[in-house]
Chains A and B, each alone.
Chain A
Amino acid sequence: MNTKCLHNVNSSKMAEVHIVGQIVGASGFPDHSLFCKWGINTGGAWKALAGLREGQTQVDTPQQHDAAYWAHPIDIHYATKGLQGWPKIHFQVWHQDSFGRNELYGYGFCHVPTTPGMHEIECPTWRPSGSFKEQVSQYFLGGGPQLKNPDLIYSGADRYRLHTIAMGSVHVRLGVILRNFDKYGIEC
């Protein structure tokens, strides 16, 4: 890790959030040879002090084909001046077949829990569905429509134009440590 933690935040007593956990895996997809691109997005009042905010897991081709497991670690330290824009973790689940081709399997996001402690989260995913012709070609050839702007995964604007179909879910185990929230009167 080449990001050093800033310790002068101790003197200003800002509220801090630590997110410590892992993306365990995914299940419920048509095929489980999967990998996942993930990222954490926050509002303007949040500052990332240490840790990677996005990444990509390894590709897993499981022996038992009912779930894929990545065990990808997440360790992030945020400092914040406000509650608006609480961190959201978003996922793009991709499928890799035996020829090495990548196909989008789903988008999903969930808010990082606001209570301190360990949380097991099941995040459902969806995939854009195209016209009937595109669906037929997707069935035989693979591929399929993808979002041009991935911000739409975690924002609500302009969603009404999207037609989607439900896919499997991503399992995340997150531990949340909060600091100095009670000094600002926040109850969580």
Chain B
Amino acid sequence: MSQSSVFLLMVGGQIESAEGLDEGLTQVTKKSRDDRQQFVWNFPLDITFKTTNPFGWPQLIVHAYGIDAFGTDVVRGYGVTHVPITPGRHKIRIPMFVPESSSQLQKLTAWILGRRPEYVDVRVLAQGEGREVTRVRSQGFLTVSFNVVMKDMKKLGYDVIPSEMSTSVIPESVGPNSGGTTET
């Protein structure tokens, strides 16, 4: 099974792209022949944004396509995630999902004709509205690695990392072993 993927960096609000490609298409890759069954694209992303307001923080939207048994290109998954808001290295595992057909008959015709349900405009995934009427099936994950660098956030008064006071790392756990140890 081979897949390629298209990605799109979607921004809203006051953010404008300064430099770099905000859309792209990866290569076509096949599943690995070992137990991991992974697809590897290793696709570079390099983009700069300028803004005066964090509202509309950029989101990465990915859609993956593959060839089905009849040889047509079908959608294999959509995924969306926000670019992390803290500087540093982040590795994020995005769940991927496909829209589902409304009925069993439509599912059968979609499978035969190779015209599966797709989003007309993928940007709707980056918004919170209008998703309540869609039914999807989540299948698979996509891993993205971000290295985020920021400039002048503090100068404009924004804090994205905790201040210099001693912060204790409290492990997030609920259950019989949670004791809430704090270390400074």
Cβ of A61: which chain B residues have Cβ within 8 Å of it? Answer: 100, 135-137
B176 contacts partner chain A, Cβ-Cβ < 8 Å: no
B90 contacts partner chain A, Cβ-Cβ < 8 Å: yes
A5 touches B139 (CB 8 A): no
A122 and B85 contact, Cβ closer than 8 Å, known pairs A24-B95, A57-B131, A177-B158: no
Interface of chain B residues 136 through 178 with chain A (CB within 8 A):
136-140, 156-163, 165, 167, 172, 174
A52 touches B137 (CB 8 A): no
Q: Among A1, A49, A64, which residue has its beta carbon within 8 angstroms of that of B139? A: A64
Complex alpha-carbon distance, A5 and B51, angstroms: 13
A62 touches B139 (CB 8 A): yes
Cβ of B13: which chain A residues have Cβ within 8 Å of it? Answer: 1, 5, 50
**Among B32-40, B64-72, B74-82, which stretch is in contact with chain A?**
B74-82
Cβ of B12: which chain A residues have Cβ within 8 Å of it? Answer: 1, 75
Can you give 7 contacting A-B residue pairs, CB < 8 Å?
A18-B54, A35-B132, A52-B129, A58-B131, A68-B138, A179-B158, A180-B157
A175 touches B85 (CB 8 A): yes
Cβ of B57: which chain A residues have Cβ within 8 Å of it? Answer: 18, 20, 75, 175
A118 and B138 contact, Cβ closer than 8 Å, known pairs A71-B81, A177-B158: no
A181 and B55 contact, Cβ closer than 8 Å, known pairs A59-B135, A62-B137, A73-B126: no
Summarize B's interface: helix, strand, loop or mixed. loop
Complex alpha-carbon distance, A11 and B50, angstroms: 21
Question: How many positions in chain B have a CB within 8 Å of any CB in the partner chain?
Answer: 47
B127 touches A73 (CB 8 A): yes
Cβ of B184: which chain A residues have Cβ within 8 Å of it? Answer: none
B163 touches A182 (CB 8 A): yes
A177 touches B160 (CB 8 A): yes
A168 contacts partner chain B, Cβ-Cβ < 8 Å: no
Q: Among B86, B100, B136, which residue has its beta carbon within 8 angstroms of that of A175? A: B86
Complex alpha-carbon distance, A101 and B160, angstroms: 42
Summarize A's interface: helix, strand, loop or mixed. strand
Complex alpha-carbon distance, A179 and B139, angstroms: 38
A20 and B54 contact, Cβ closer than 8 Å, known pairs A57-B131, A58-B131, A175-B82: yes
Cβ of B159: which chain A residues have Cβ within 8 Å of it? Answer: 116, 177-179, 181-182
B contacts, CB < 8 Å to A: 12-14, 53-57, 59, 79-82, 84-86, 90, 94-95, 97, 100, 125-129, 131-132, 134-140, 156-163, 165, 167, 172, 174
B95 touches A72 (CB 8 A): no
Tell me, rounded to whole Å, the shortest Cβ–Cβ distance linking B177 to chain A: 15
A51 contacts partner chain B, Cβ-Cβ < 8 Å: yes
- With A61-B136, A73-B59 known, 17 other A-B pairs at CB within 8 A are A1-B12, A7-B53, A22-B80, A52-B128, A55-B132, A59-B136, A60-B136, A60-B137, A62-B137, A64-B138, A72-B128, A75-B12, A77-B53, A96-B135, A117-B160, A179-B157, A188-B163
Complex alpha-carbon distance, A178 and B163, angstroms: 11
Q: Among B55, B95, B128, which residue has its beta carbon within 8 angstroms of that of A5? A: B55
Complex alpha-carbon distance, A181 and B165, angstroms: 14
8 tightest Cβ-Cβ pairs between the two chains A and B: A69-B95, A56-B132, A175-B85, A63-B139, A69-B138, A58-B134, A59-B135, A116-B159
